[in-house]
Structure 1
Amino acid sequence: MRFGEQAYLPFREQFVALDPERYPPEYIDAQVWAGFWACWGTDRAAILAEIKTYPSGLREVHGLAAAGDMQEIVALIPMAEAWGKQQGCRLASIESRPGWVRVLDDYEVDQVRIVKELSDGS
């Protein structure tokens, strides 16, 4: 198991390809290098997470992205959860594709995010 840059670098190309329109590669790199985003990884998978602090003071470990083998990804999530608890987090969340609801049965749907692209005629 690797943590930080050593976990991120082998999967960097997969992470930066996930949503470059919203998260340019330079931004993702900077978040990891500065320690704002944490990364856990093995030879076959890696996950990225951040700590979100709400105005109330509630802290949440928030899963941002994952790359690689699904079973390895699922095995890495408890490490991120434990890290979040050490950082004072009371919640863990993952914002991703709907399929994660089926894979992570110990998580429950809290909110749904829907998106509409606006054009000049909308």
Structure 2
Amino acid sequence: MEKGGDTHDFKDIVDGVQSGHMQLWFGANGCAVTEIIVYPNKKVLHIFLAGGDKGHGIEQLTDMNDDAIAWGKAQGCDGMSISGRKGWQRVLESEGWKQQFTTLVKEF
């Protein structure tokens, strides 16, 4: 979780999944965590944490893509988003994903 900016710790994820605020998706070699974000004009299923066995993280995310899309649609979501490192873009573009914006952070 340190590669994700240390925004959550393990207990935060467990509490979020148990409360239903977050969803835990299992793949053959890893898992992903999502949450639904409601904007004024759009509802999005957002993947904010994903990982797995070394070399399989991206594969397991693409394996879950269809199930997550179906579930998101059933929840009334208009689309999906992901926060991740640059390498995700290269692989996910073949699944129909596109870069919408870049997030920069400055800690103080």
TM-score bracket, shorter-length normalisation: 0.7 to 0.9
Structure 1 runs (4+) deviating above 6 angstroms are: none
- Residue matched to 1:89: 77
Given residue 83 of structure 1, which amino acid in structure 2 is its aligned partner? W
2:13: which partner in 1? 28
Of residues 28, 37, 44, the one that matches 1:60 is 44
Answer yes or no: is the 8 Å Cα contact 1:49–1:80 preserved in 2. no
Supply the AA of the counterpart residue of 2:92. Answer: L
Whole-Å Cα distance in 2 between the matches of residues 41 and 93 of structure 1? Answer: 18
State the match for 1:115 in structure 2: 105
How many residues end up aligned between the 2 structures? Answer: 102
1:87 Cα deviation from its structure 2 partner: 0.6
Task: From 38, 58, 74, give the equivalent of 2:23.
Answer: 38
Counterpart secondary structure, 2:50: strand
Bigger radius of gyration among the two: 1
Query: Percent identical across equivalent pairs?
Result: 29
Give me the TM-score of the superposition, normalised by structure 1. Answer: 0.73
Which amino acid is the alignment partner of residue 116 of structure 1?
K
Partner of 2:88 in structure 1?
Answer: 100
Structure 1: give runs of 5+ residues left out of the alignment.
Answer: 1-15
Can you list the C-alpha shifts for 1:71-107, whole angstroms capped at 9, x where unaligned?
A: 2221112211111111111111111111111010111
TM-score in terms of structure 2 length: 0.82
